[in-house]
Amino acid sequence: MIDFNVPPYVGNELTYIRQAIENRKICGDGEFTKRCSAWLTKRFGCDHALLTTSGTTALEMAARLCDLQPGDEVIMPSFTFSSTANAFVQVGARIVFVDIRPDTMNIDEKKIEHAITDRTRAIVVVHYAGVACAMDEIMEIARRHGLKVVEDAAHAPLATYKGRALGSIGDFGCLSFHETKNYSMGEGGALLINRGTHETEAQETASFEKAEIMREKGTDRSKFMRGQVDKYTWVDYGSSYLPSDMLAAYLWAQLEKADEINKDRIATWNAYYEGLKPLADAGRIELQTVPEGCVHNAHMFWIKCADLQERTELLSYLRDRQIYAVFHYIPLHSAPAGLRFGRFDGEDEYTTRESERLARLPLYYHLTAEDRAQVIQAIKDFYEARAC
């Protein structure tokens, strides 16, 4: 059997969790949390990184930091996970969905401006499969219209755009360390705070301080722990967005081996690409494209079938051979909550059609070469047996 995903495990996780317990620090912001945030800051080249309880809560914090009023509009793709939209719905925003590009499945930067109204306050981008959105164009639009930019970089750790880490370009970057992501702590995430469209460094620092308070139940406990204030108190809206140091210990083991995990995933991605290229050259399937200037992180390997019916047949053919390939997001704009909380701007040229054709192949740390070969062979057999 070849699973779609197996959570990454590199070997030191238990040792570090035991250390966290022996440190008598099983709540948040202990030694391992500090190590992880320092690593993220350095590796992403961002100014601030805060571990959170999930990618979802990182997005919720980012949405609050955008300071929206009820009825304000936020632009995002419809081809994404519910959390991307929920975070903004929670603060009263209307979601305006924009079509995607078929080559990357990312928001089409050329269609963003059409969706901007006098209520628009933010653009949320999703770097699908760890392949970057056109960030230069998007940041330029945001600056021209005075909009915030949030990067949903849940898929994207270690992927770059023109040399810059994804998640470090917009005002806020949101990472996920769910077990299905490249690096994991079971459930967890991080909020990155960047200069982005913040006009001054002081404004950026203010966002960071607000985020710290929000994460600490609305108190200035973080400042107190650093000795910057002599008592801590309730100063603003907040919640508990702080993960346990035991979970950070699991993540630390992964981050220490981040390059090894990345290399292993890239090897699988490349093997799939080479193995399936003949089918793509023959026009039977389409493969992922990675635009110039983007370095991906092998978060995902997707192919596109001719249509929904062919994809359904392929997935079931693979399942019969105990290979668990899967489809992905049902576009949010056509989902019950999407209809209630949002609208689609312009024409849905690609979102629905392309999402119906997309299939994701098994990809995880330590997927063996034999398993890869088996997946490739099964897909070839499927198309061989099927008339053009």
Ligand X SMILES: *Cc1c(COP(=O)(O)O)cnc(C)c1O
CB of 299 to ligand X, least distance (A): 9
Is 170 one of the binding residues for ligand X (CB under 6 A)? Answer: no
- 343 close to 71: Cβ distance less than 8 angstroms: no
According to CB under 6 A, which one of 178, 215, 304, 357 is a site residue for ligand X?
178
Is 80 one of the binding residues for ligand X (CB under 6 A)? Answer: yes
Q: Which residues pair with 190 in a beta bridge?
A: 51, 175
CB of 70 to ligand X, least distance (A): 23
Length of the chain: 388
C-alpha of 211 from chain center = 19
Instruction: Indicate the residue among 255 and 279 with the shorter CB distance to ligand X.
Output: 255
Q: Could you say which DSSP state residue 114 is in?
A: G
Query: Which ranges of the chain would DSSP assign to H, the alpha helix?
Result: 13-22, 31-44, 55-65, 82-89, 135-145, 201-215, 221-225, 245-256, 258-281, 308-320, 336-341, 351-357, 369-384
Contact range with ligand X by CB under 6 A, out of 110-118, 147-155, 203-211, 375-383: 147-155
Is 126 one of the binding residues for ligand X (CB under 6 A)? Answer: yes
According to CB under 6 A, which one of 8, 28, 55, 157 is a site residue for ligand X?
55
- 147 close to 197: Cβ distance less than 8 angstroms: yes
According to CB under 6 A, which one of 30, 189, 238, 338 is a site residue for ligand X?
189
Instruction: Indicate the residue among 179 and 371 with the shorter CB distance to ligand X.
Output: 179
Give the span between the Cα atoms of 323 and 339, in whole angstroms.
Answer: 34
Query: Does an H or E element contain 292, and which?
Result: none
Instruction: Indicate the residue among 81 and 208 with the shorter CB distance to ligand X.
Output: 81
Contact range with ligand X by CB under 6 A, out of 52-60, 214-222, 273-281, 357-365: 52-60
Pairing of strands 73-77, 302-304: unpaired
Contact range with ligand X by CB under 6 A, out of 12-20, 49-57, 252-260, 261-269: 49-57
Contact range with ligand X by CB under 6 A, out of 79-87, 259-267, 281-289, 290-298: 79-87
Is 360 one of the binding residues for ligand X (CB under 6 A)? Answer: no
According to CB under 6 A, which one of 81, 241, 301, 382 is a site residue for ligand X?
81
Is 84 one of the binding residues for ligand X (CB under 6 A)? Answer: yes
Is 184 one of the binding residues for ligand X (CB under 6 A)? Answer: no
Is 83 one of the binding residues for ligand X (CB under 6 A)? Answer: yes
Instruction: Indicate the residue among 19 and 80 with the shorter CB distance to ligand X.
Output: 80
Contact range with ligand X by CB under 6 A, out of 76-84, 163-171, 197-205, 267-275: 76-84
Instruction: Count Cβ atoms within 10 A of the Cβ of residue 158 and give its class: 0-12 exposed, 13-18 middle, 19 or more buried.
Output: buried
What dihedral do alpha carbons 35, 219, 171, 78 form, nearest 10°?
100
- 20 close to 31: Cβ distance less than 8 angstroms: yes
Is 17 one of the binding residues for ligand X (CB under 6 A)? Answer: no
According to CB under 6 A, which one of 19, 54, 182, 184 is a site residue for ligand X?
54
According to CB under 6 A, which one of 19, 41, 56, 182 is a site residue for ligand X?
56
Q: What are phi and psi of 146, to 5 degrees?
A: 65, 45
Is 78 one of the binding residues for ligand X (CB under 6 A)? Answer: no
Closest by Cα among 248, 249, 224, 251 to 235: 224
Instruction: Indicate the residue among 154 and 378 with the shorter CB distance to ligand X.
Output: 154
Instruction: Indicate the residue among 46 and 124 with the shorter CB distance to ligand X.
Output: 124
Give the Å distances, CA to CA, from 284 to 8, 211, 281, 303, 379. 33, 48, 8, 10, 11
Point out which residues bind ligand X (CB under 6 A). Answer: 54-56, 80-81, 83-84, 126, 152, 154-155, 176, 178, 189
